[in-house]
Structure 1
Amino acid sequence: MTKENAKAKSSKSAAIAQPRAIVIGASAGGPEALATLFESLVDCNIPAPIFLVLHMPTDFSAMVAAYIERVSGRPTSTATDGAPLPGHIYVAPAGRHLRITGRPSRAMMRLDDGDSENFCRPAVDVLFRSAAATYGHGLLALVLTGTGHDGLAGAAAVAAAGGTIIAQDEKSSAAWGMPGAVVEHGHATMVLPIKVMGLKIASLFRPVEPGRAA
């Protein structure tokens, strides 16, 4: 057992329910990790909306969205106020927090210019906390490579709401600050290499065969 897996204190042997939404946080090394993740999900039918916070020094959100759309084959755009569409990927714009409000069946995206958290705006914690309040146990949170600890408090909120948290492992991370903090505090449901993470996510959206448990 690896050090990372040993520290994933909240690992569960029970089956994970199909997510109703996916939130992703990434920083240093994020574009490469996201490319690997989404390339492995090209042939996977994911009806859930996907929300992404990637720390960027300036507003490259439109460029990032175009890049992700190219590698993922999924409709991707910069997040705006309004209802998310199934199967779409939304990138938080630089300089603005992305929050999710409402109920799972009537979720809404909201952007604001609130105070920075962890010296970041957008902050992963803001997205994760708000999405946890909206989707509860139907939320899947991914904490990818990055420096600092943005996403730690948000991951705690996801765990408290019964959601699932997958942290990128140290070996495949360019910087293990963000995922490492989540693992160290025992919030990770599982810790996976980025090349394996996509396979795990795809398995959550496969139909259950008749006569087999989910």
Structure 2
Amino acid sequence: MTIKVLIVDDSALVRGVLSEILSADPQIEVVGTASDPLIARDKIKQLNPDVLTLDVEMPRMDGLTFLDNLMRLRPMPVLMVSSLTERGAEITLQALELGAVDFVTKPALDVKAGLEAYAQTLRDKVKAVSRARPRGRSDAARPPAASTRPRALRTTEKIIAIGASTGGTEAIKNVLSAMPPDAPAIVITQHIPAMFSAPFAARMDRCSPMSVCEARDGQQIVPGHVYIAPGSHHLLVERSGARYYCRLSDAPPQNRHRPSVDVMFRSVLDHVGTNAVAALLTGMGEDGARGLLALRELGAHTIAQDEATSVVWGMPGAAVRMNAAERVLPLEQIAAQLLEWTR
């Protein structure tokens, strides 16, 4: 069964390049293109696509307004096509909050060559997005229920480690917004481009009672704080005496990713041991599954997000198949369980 794709972009060059790249895969059929959201609205009705690729900045109606209307009236899998700029990053994060499943970036210069350079990634993302469970607008806006917020903690010796990819920006938001301000320190690896990680950390800081930042090399890890891996470096946890520190590494990608969840989990295994609790959230691929298994085998508590609440059940699904997860839980229960284990 082929995946029907509608491409929405105001650039004729981008529409042509995306059409050529995606059509090269026999599992993907580009059923149409649109130069703005108003044309796209009519073509969605006519062509009934499985996946929409959507530019973030377009004439007549901006991509965010269109996406907001789409996710309220006809939720469907959407892959955002973003520019690698600070403004592009902020708009893309808003789009993910509104219900877009994932995004790809297009370079500012030589767009054709830049897109062709990661043609296979584009095709893989379209396939993953087609299998995703799009959230309606009302779901995207719903905060975690107050009843899921556990009481504040007293212990400060634990570290919580979280990994995520596709769908992870909103899953992480769900977990962090349910944490008390004095929760144990949290380290996070989310697959995200370098330009996007700082705006993502700032966005999480605004929605969490904890203090959230993009991790810096040598930064001390302390309770009440969250450290998010920069999009260009692996995030490792190191210990010196009784203190934990962030260590950033530009070592080669692991599982095709830098930052890699497995790299972070292995450092947590080596330096935190059974004082760690770990969770693997929604995401495409298998990054983090083996690291989670190693943590469980050591005796640390581990969680995988369940299939029903995952946008893409790739990473947590791989962990479940490996028996790496002590618990498999819906997203809304993960924060409470992590906190329970750190008491």
Interval of TM-score (by shorter of Structure 1 and Structure 2): 0.7 to 0.9
Is 2:246 the counterpart of 1:75? no
- Aligned partners of 1:182, 1:143: CA distance in 2, in Å? 8
For the 8 Å contact 1:74–1:88, the answer to whether it is kept is: yes
Root-mean-square deviation over aligned CA pairs: 1.9
Is 2:253 the counterpart of 1:116? yes
Aligned with 2:272: secondary structure? helix
Give the alignment partner of residue 191 of structure 1, picking from 325, 328, 331.
328
More helix by share: 2
Is 2:193 the counterpart of 1:39? no
Cα 1:136/1:102, change in 2 over 3 Å: same
Question: After alignment, is 154-163 or 21-30 more displaced?
Answer: 154-163
Aligned with 1:186: secondary structure? coil
- Aligned partners of 2:210, 2:183: CA distance in 1, in Å? 11
Work out the number of aligned pairs and report it.
Answer: 188
For residue 37 of structure 1, report the CA deviation from its aligned partner: 1.5
Aligned with 2:221: secondary structure? coil
- Aligned partners of 1:183, 1:19: CA distance in 2, in Å? 27
For the 8 Å contact 1:103–1:135, the answer to whether it is kept is: no
Cα 1:57/1:114, change in 2 over 3 Å: same
Give the alignment partner of residue 29 of structure 1, picking from 159, 167, 179.
167
- Which runs of 5 or more residues in structure 2 are unaligned? 1-154
Question: After alignment, is 172-181 or 51-60 more displaced?
Answer: 51-60
- Aligned partners of 1:130, 1:92: CA distance in 2, in Å? 13
Q: Percent identity?
A: 38
For the 8 Å contact 1:20–1:104, the answer to whether it is kept is: no
**Cα deviation code 1:56-82 (max 9, x no counterpart):** 134211111111111112111111122
**Cα deviation code 1:131-178 (max 9, x no counterpart):** 111111110111000000000121122123211111100000000000
- Aligned partners of 1:136, 1:142: CA distance in 2, in Å? 15
Aligned residue runs from structure 1 range 165-204, under 5 A = 165-204=302-341
- Aligned partners of 2:289, 2:321: CA distance in 1, in Å? 10
Query: Match of 2:11?
Result: none
Report the AA paired with residue 215 of structure 2.
A
TM-score (norm: length of structure 1):
0.82
Cα 1:58/1:67, change in 2 over 3 Å: same
Aligned residue runs from structure 1 range 1-214, under 5 A = 20-41=158-179, 44=180, 46-82=182-218, 83-102=220-239, 105-205=242-342
- Aligned partners of 1:107, 1:19: CA distance in 2, in Å? 10
For the 8 Å contact 2:278–2:302, the answer to whether it is kept is: yes
- Aligned partners of 2:308, 2:173: CA distance in 1, in Å? 17
Cα 1:174/1:98, change in 2 over 3 Å: same
- Aligned partners of 1:177, 1:168: CA distance in 2, in Å? 10
Aligned with 1:191: secondary structure? strand
For residue 46 of structure 1, report the CA deviation from its aligned partner: 4.1
For the 8 Å contact 2:183–2:339, the answer to whether it is kept is: no
Cα 1:85/1:18, change in 2 over 3 Å: closer
Report the AA paired with residue 261 of structure 2.
V
Query: Match of 1:6?
Result: none
More strand by share: 2
- Aligned partners of 1:205, 1:179: CA distance in 2, in Å? 21
Question: Quick check: which has more Rg, 1 or 2?
Answer: 2
